[in-house]
């Protein structure tokens, strides 16, 4: 991680556009709303066209594009849409899915969807953004997860895709041309529909709940937007949870008892 001083996203002096994928609800909507408030002309995308249209109207987005992020051509069309509204300077690769459960219990279609949406969707987004940024450069912010930084039984496939996304962002940050910055945001559990829809009896949901208060969408959206203009590559929210997760990654064989204690704590909190 790079702890260099950052420059938060501010109102652009000339018309600038931004893209937010997975923006119909949750973190994506929060990011898009904040970028609109800061003066960017925001193109929002989502696979749920009806919800996307409502969001675009309510937050004042420049354009809504129905998109399945698994389709690489769709990202090129989104970049073209953004170019109609100003110079593209920020792309938030936020779309993601997260079926919980042990890997052995997930169906073939579930496995394929999680990998293609979370990893390939991010890769297509990053590639399209790098190709579309102009001489002013720009920022790509990928929504990853705290689960990327250590073992998370019950969310093993989701965590694996997010770990791959962090690795991808870290590597591309060094490949990117001058003036282009790539970031990965790793939030702890967030109060979203995805987390609410997880099985309360499952280990994954219990571990998510073990951290105490779920982060709000507003907190995570602000952290994502604050990465724009900064040189920081990976940011965890909150920071202390990142350190704890990395400790587990260094010695995964020793983390079983710790995870069991966290799961028990999460179960108690879910019952309260």
Which pLDDT does position 212 carry in this prediction?
A: 65
Q: Which amino acids are annotated catalytic?
A: 158
Is 136 a member of any domain?
yes
| Residue 34 exposed, middle or buried by CB count within 10 Å (0-12, 13-18, 19+) | buried
Residue 249 lies inside a defined structural domain of this protein: yes
The residue among 68, 89, 59, 85 whose CA lies nearest residue 21 is 68
pTM beyond 0.85: the answer is no
Q: Which CATH number covers residue 87? A: 3.40.50.720
Domain that residue 62 falls in: 16-271
Q: Is residue 1 part of a domain?
A: no
Is there a domain that residue 260 lies in? yes
Q: Hey, is 93 helix, strand or coil?
A: strand
Position 267 in a domain: yes
What is the per-residue pLDDT for 197?
66
Q: What is the pLDDT of residue 244?
A: 60
Q: Is residue 11 part of a domain?
A: no
Mean pLDDT per block of 10 residues along the chain (272 residues) reads 48 82 98 98 98 98 98 98 98 93 93 97 98 96 93 90 97 97 94 68 60 86 98 88 59 53 48 56
**The pLDDT of residue 263:** 45
- Please indicate, yes or no, if residue 2 is contained in any of the structural domains: no
Task: Work out how many domains the chain is built from and give that number.
Answer: 1
Q: Is residue 221 in some structural domain?
A: yes
3-class DSSP assignment, residue 34? helix
Answer whether 69's CB lies under 8 Å from 21's CB.
Answer: yes
Distances (CA, A) of 168 to 19, 143, 264: 19, 12, 33
Query: Which residues, in sequence order, are CB contacts of 15 under 8 Å at separation 6+?
Result: 41, 85, 86, 87
């Amino acid at each position: 991680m790079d702890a260099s001083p950052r420059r938060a996203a501010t109102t652009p002096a000339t018309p600038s556009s931004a893209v937010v994928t997975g923006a119909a609800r949750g973190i994506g909507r929060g990011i898009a709303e904040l970028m609109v408030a800061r003066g960017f002309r925001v193109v929002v995308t989502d696979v749920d066209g009806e919800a996307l249209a409502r969001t675009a109207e309510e937050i004042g987005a420049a354009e809504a594009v129905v998109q399945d992020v698994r389709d690489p051509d769709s990202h090129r069309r989104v970049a073209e849409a953004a170019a109609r509204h100003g110079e593209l300077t920020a792309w938030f690769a936020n779309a993601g899915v997260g079926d919980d459960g042990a890997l052995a219990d997930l169906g073939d279609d579930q496995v394929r969807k999680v990998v293609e949406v979370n990893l390939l969707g991010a890769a297509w987004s990053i590639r399209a953004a790098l190709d579309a940024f102009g001489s002013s450069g720009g920022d790509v912010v990928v929504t990853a997860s705290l689960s990327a930084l250590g073992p998370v039984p019950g969310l093993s496939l989701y965590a694996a895709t997010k770990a791959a996304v962090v690795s991808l962002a870290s590597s591309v940050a060094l490949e990117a041309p001058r003036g282009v910055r790539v970031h990965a945001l790793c939030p702890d559990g967030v109060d979203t529909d995805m987390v609410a829809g997880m099985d309360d009896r499952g280990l994954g949901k219990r571990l998510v709940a073990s951290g105490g208060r779920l982060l709000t969408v507003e907190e995570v959206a602000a952290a994502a937007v604050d990465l724009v203009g900064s040189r920081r590559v990976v940011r965890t929210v909150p920071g202390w949870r990142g350190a704890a997760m990395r400790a587990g990654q260094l010695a995964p064989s020793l983390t079983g008892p710790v995870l069991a204690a966290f799961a028990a704590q999460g179960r108690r909190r879910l019952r309260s």
